[in-house]
Structure 1
Amino acid sequence: MAVAEAFGDIIKFIKGKGPDGVRIDNKLFQLHYRLTTFIFLDRASPTTLSTLNCWITTTYTLPQLLDKSDQYPHSDIAYHGIGAHSARAEKHYHGYYQWVPFVLFLQGIAFYLPHWLWKLVEGRRLSSLLQEMQLPVMDPEERRTRLANLVQYLAQTLGSYNGYFFRFVLCELLNVANVFFNFFVINCFLGGRFLRYGPRALAFFIGSGGPGASPMTEVFPKLTKCNFQLVGGSGSVESIDSICVMALNILNEKIYLLLWFWLVLLAAASVLAFAWRVVMMSATAMRVPMLQARARLADVHDLEDLVESVRLGDFFLLSLLARNMDLVAFRQLVTDLARAVTHGQGRRVSRVTAPSAGVGDPQTLIKRAVTHRSAALD
């Protein structure tokens, strides 16, 4: 019971937002560490297993009898891959079922790891910059003051966020590698039969799989054979050839079929998203339309001036700010920032005094900027 409650707490933690409600990534990134981690951890929930000898020893099926399984039950075989055989007959051993919950749990942790690393290196920088402006209700005057402070700070620090951006890209690349790595892990775990598991099962369902047992039955047999020894009444050892009922494989075959299609879709989406990130890094002409989509009714000349003044990391930071601010506030932000960096002191300060990436706390630097601004007015 305590283990089940622990799993429940982990799942709630994964599904929930952070304490400040700030979104520091994108929807696809969330598919990796929220939905995919949830799928693996939920399927890894402990299940009561039989204490029969079949569960504590390796069982086997007979591959040569799978070819005759199209005749079942009108043949001499007991079930798909089960029947009489000689001592030299080829056997396919199954021992994975003992480790399914543990492997699924570790894979769930693996999908959460890139998000944890990004949170670690991000260091709540975006939350500090927003100053709670992501909240839906805020006093208008307080919002204007905080927006002015943010513009002042960004004007001084433009050009220092490339490291911030490339750390995020590295975590995205880790997401892509994670999908392929876990697909390979499952394929090895199931004896090399996971690679084509989805297409074979789909072909069997639509009637083009050919004769014989279904791929689901082949990979996850419901009946297997096992040999164990007993001591007879006379003290002699008796070897018993028995049939084992693998009831849990009825669930395992569907779990791994779901995982096959989900991992393939996630891999395709991740590769396309990473390719789009590469395009965005090289195609600066796309940045003005992207800002227009997030800052509607903003002067296009202001947006063009801003795009000319910012680097790749700066544009990435602006996109994160756009995800956490309402349209009106973000439009005002980019308008004021464009005018600050293209007129007078704003651009000169951003070139001379911009701190290096990762130096200083944003809230502290914002307060310093406001102090200098007040002193200049005095």
Structure 2
Amino acid sequence: MIDFYKNLMAFMKIGNIHTDNNVFKLHYKVTVILIATFSVLLTSKQYFGEPIDCDVQQRKEIIDTYCWINGTFIFEDNILDYRAPGLTTRNDKSGSAHFQNYYQWVCIVFALQAICFYIPRYIWKACEGGRLKQLVGEFGGPITSEKWNNTSKEKLVRNILYDSYAHNVYTFRYCFCEFLNLVNVIINILFMDWFLDGEFSTYGLIDGSRSITKRMNRVFPKLAKCHYYKFGPSGDMQLLDALCILSLNVLNQKVFLLLWYWLLVLLIVSFLSVLYRALFLFVPVFRTYLLRAQARRLENKKAKYIVRKLSYGDFFILYRLGKNVNQNTYRDVVSCIYDHLSNWKGYKIFQEI
């Protein structure tokens, strides 16, 4: 367990070069670690503890295993209500029994979810290919490098202005991965709703008719019934009616409640992130505001001119550069870009270098 958390802490370490934003990190760092932790906790409890304990006199170990594998059920009104004897199948006409047989799959589902939340990061990392790290070079960090001079500044500006097409493709891939994060959250919520028989979508809602506690006890009951059949001495079928304690569901109730609220928050911030990216791409005034906020004390007319001349891909590279270098270095780069753009003839010659 200690080694597991050491690996998690290493995974949480933030790199020197930031190729994505904080919302992106919520997906592939915080969410992956949260779900992986849930999976480890439930796995240790499920396979190294006693997740179920049935109150029977005969064949206790066999019945415990049987009820865990095949699932248990509860009654709608009261799990101790024995007024519906013989209720053993999903096709029961009374329709008052609810079966649960997904407990043993929870830890595996969490592991698959952790992988799903890392996939957009994996795709973006493969597409990014270390381009921003090569662009920033040794000039990243909060302190201006001793090697920062006019020659290095000209080289950096040339790399920003040189290939608009490649920068546009770079930006499109990043936007696709951001949108994939939002789609991934929606798919995971729908999948968990299907996995819990339609109960996950409303699991954490507070309403007057049905409290959260009642809903948790319905989805993850701590007491449930199980029917076990065996052949008696005379060859006839005998029914053993067992009342089982599901201690693992005490943990499942809290884990899924926390997961429900976290996915809700993640869905909201992911939607806002996609909306922000749409404004970034299609509203030049918004890019002007971002540039002035990032390059402090930049004149409004200069910011408008730079935004008007640069493609959305070039501006995205410039904006990501501002997240990885200090303010003095970034202001020098922005000023140099303005000087080149304002001299159109010089800029054309500059592109051909």
TM bracket (short chain): 0.7 to 0.9
Aligned-pair distance for 1:258?
1.3
- Name the aligned partner's letter for residue 121 of structure 1: C
Aligned-pair distance for 1:251?
1.1
Question: Normalising by structure 1, what TM-score?
Answer: 0.79
| Residue equivalent to 1:337 | 337
| Residue equivalent to 1:40 | 35
Aligned-pair distance for 1:137?
4.6
Q: What is the SS of the residue equivalent to 1:82?
A: coil
| Residue equivalent to 1:62 | 75
Question: Normalising by structure 2, what TM-score?
Answer: 0.84
Matches of residues 6-17 of structure 1 in structure 2 within 5 Å?
Answer: 7-8=4-5, 11-17=8-14
Count of aligned pairs: 327
| Residue equivalent to 1:87 | 86
Moved more, 132-141 or 148-157: 132-141
Moved more, 273-282 or 173-182: 273-282
Structure 2: how far apart are the matches of 1:143 and 1:194? 58
| Residue equivalent to 1:279 | 279
Cα gap change, 1:344 to 1:313, in 2 (>3 Å)? closer
Structure 1: how far apart are the matches of 2:261 and 2:304? 43
Q: Is the 8 Å Cα contact of residues 161 and 314 (structure 2) preserved in structure 1?
A: no
Q: Is the 8 Å Cα contact of residues 102 and 195 (structure 2) preserved in structure 1?
A: yes
| Residue equivalent to 2:308 | 308
For the aligned residue pairs, the C-alpha RMSD in angstroms reads 2.5
Structure 1: how far apart are the matches of 2:4 and 2:149? 40
Structure 2: how far apart are the matches of 1:285 and 1:343? 23
Q: Is the 8 Å Cα contact of residues 61 and 92 (structure 1) preserved in structure 2?
A: yes
Matches of residues 184-333 of structure 1 in structure 2 within 5 Å?
Answer: 184-199=190-205, 202-203=206-207, 208-209=208-209, 214-230=214-230, 238-333=238-333
1:65-100 CA distance string (max 9 Å, x none): x2xxxxxxxxxxxxx423312225543210111101
1:35-69 CA distance string (max 9 Å, x none): 11111111010223327323222111122xx2xxx
**Identical columns (%):** 30
Structure 1: state its 5+ residue gaps. 67-79, 354-368, 370-378
Where does structure 1 differ by over 6 angstroms across 4 or more consecutive aligned residues? 233-236
Aligned-pair distance for 1:158?
4.0
Aligned-pair distance for 1:295?
0.7
Cα gap change, 1:9 to 1:95, in 2 (>3 Å)? farther
Aligned-pair distance for 1:212?
11
Q: Is the 8 Å Cα contact of residues 22 and 127 (structure 1) preserved in structure 2?
A: yes
Q: What is the SS of the residue equivalent to 2:204?
A: helix
